[in-house]
Amino acid sequence: MPFSLLKYGLNKDYPFEQHADLPKPTELKPHYDVVIIGGGGHGVATAYYLAKYHGITNVAILEKSYLGGGNTARNTAVIRSNYLTSEGVKFYSESVKLFKELSNEFDFNIMYSQRGQLTLAHTDAAVRGFRQRAEVNKHFGGKTELIDPQQIRELVPTLNMNPADMPVLAGLWHMDGATARHDAVAWGYAKGATQRGVELHQLTEVTDVIVEQGKVTGVKTNRGNVSCGCVVQAVAGHSSLLAAKAGFKMPITTFPLQAMVTQPVKPFLDPLVSSPSLHCYVQQTGRGELVFGGGSDPYPLYSTRSTMDLKESLLANAVELFPFMANMRLMRQWAGLTDMTSDYSPIMGLSPVDNYYLDAGWGTWGFKSTPICGKSMAELVASGGKVPELIKPFSMDRFNSFRQVNEMGATAASH
């Protein structure tokens, strides 16, 4: 055994089995039936379901940087469906169901790990809100319940039950809460899509959208022009900028969102823990690192810079929840751009431009919706613009008819 290992290590072709998951880059074709702008989780998922369920494979995914290199790589990889509105719960619980099967479907491990998510209530108002969320969730088949301090102590023995002098009164225990490796989700979808004939073009930036008589007919890129039957825009963090190229405004404001991770320690924290009153959430990864996240920055900005004051306030609260973490060292910190809508719900469906479909407004809830959003967008594209029931409430014109989907359960850390 050691000799064969040595031989393997010294082999000049090492590693001799090189599986190329993605086909080599090719030239852009002059025409595609569908152009998907944005090679993140949502874009590749849409392409995957288009090819898998609808047999549409003359599809190009145009990504200005590299596969899954934007917000797909910057989120904190939380999967949950304990939302507040019935529209939201229905949508996100479909996503949780799809996530559970993805590793099998891809034949590629996305490291889906269901640990449950615990949200803490420190006020009577929060307890009432949680009771409502638990009931809405149960109604749509989710596993969510309200639990008391004793049950919380049993679930998370290391938790300080009186953080920042705000005693924990109750918890919303969401058993479907999970994490998955976000990069792997994008890679799995990209592999599945390209195997079925979809083209993924990285380092291909869309510089302009060609609209003729109110209808999109093609896009201009840094590698030449492409004509197309329809366009799906899936560029979280840059939705307004791309929409401006197509000639319309969106009800979106873009804020940075900062997160960070500590050095790895022994496993002690199984559930994902969040506290809306303390504006923070904490989870331990499979590698033992602790991930901290909070609310978006207080004002809009197109920059992924980090600020000391946000770090300080977020960590002060995290240390209140788990005081023994005070001496831990941070290993990495980063920021992503979140496209916030005023009702904390996404925008999916039609746009003012014909054959130009929107997948935007994903604020801080984009990763967890990747599978169901891709599946719904594929349905929308394949039907030639017939909006599926599931995403009808999330159309952009809900703002024009003043029928917003008020999703206060959207963020683990309230804004």
Partner 1 sequence: MKMMNCPLNGLRNISEFVHGGEVKEMPDPNSCSDDAWAEYVFYTENGISVVTEWWLHAPSGYWFIAERHTGSDEILKTYDPSVLFNKRVEFSAPVTEGMA
Point out which residues bind partner 1 (CB under 8 A). Answer: 240-241, 244, 249-254, 298-303, 305, 307-309, 342, 399-402
Based on CB atoms, which residue is closest to partner 1, 88 or 256? Answer: 256
Instruction: Specify the DSSP class assigned to residue 347.
Output: E
Distance CA 295, CA 415 (A): 5
Q: CB of 47: closest distance to partner 1 in angstroms?
A: 27
Q: Is 280 exposed, middle or buried (0-12, 13-18, 19+ CB in 10 A)?
A: buried
**Is 353 in contact with 248 (CB distance < 8 Å)?**
yes
**Is 283 in contact with 78 (CB distance < 8 Å)?**
yes
Q: CB of 344: closest distance to partner 1 in angstroms?
A: 13
Based on CB atoms, which residue is closest to partner 1, 254 or 275? Answer: 254
Based on CB atoms, which residue is closest to partner 1, 320 or 343? Answer: 343
Total residue count of the chain as it appears in this document: 415
Q: CB of 342: closest distance to partner 1 in angstroms?
A: 6
Based on CB atoms, which residue is closest to partner 1, 43 or 237? Answer: 237
Based on CB atoms, which residue is closest to partner 1, 87 or 297? Answer: 297
- Tokens 């940075």 appear where? 256
Based on CB atoms, which residue is closest to partner 1, 310 or 378? Answer: 310
Based on CB atoms, which residue is closest to partner 1, 37 or 118? Answer: 37
Distance separating the N- and C-terminal Cα atoms of the chain = 57
Instruction: Specify the DSSP class assigned to residue 277.
Output: T
Neighbours of 114 (CB within 10 A): 15
Q: CB of 300: closest distance to partner 1 in angstroms?
A: 6
Sheet (strand 290-296) strand order: 144-147, 170-174, 117-121, 272-275, 280-284, 290-296, 253-262, 330-340
Distance CA 272, CA 115 (A): 7
Q: CB of 299: closest distance to partner 1 in angstroms?
A: 4
Q: CB of 116: closest distance to partner 1 in angstroms?
A: 35
Q: CB of 319: closest distance to partner 1 in angstroms?
A: 19
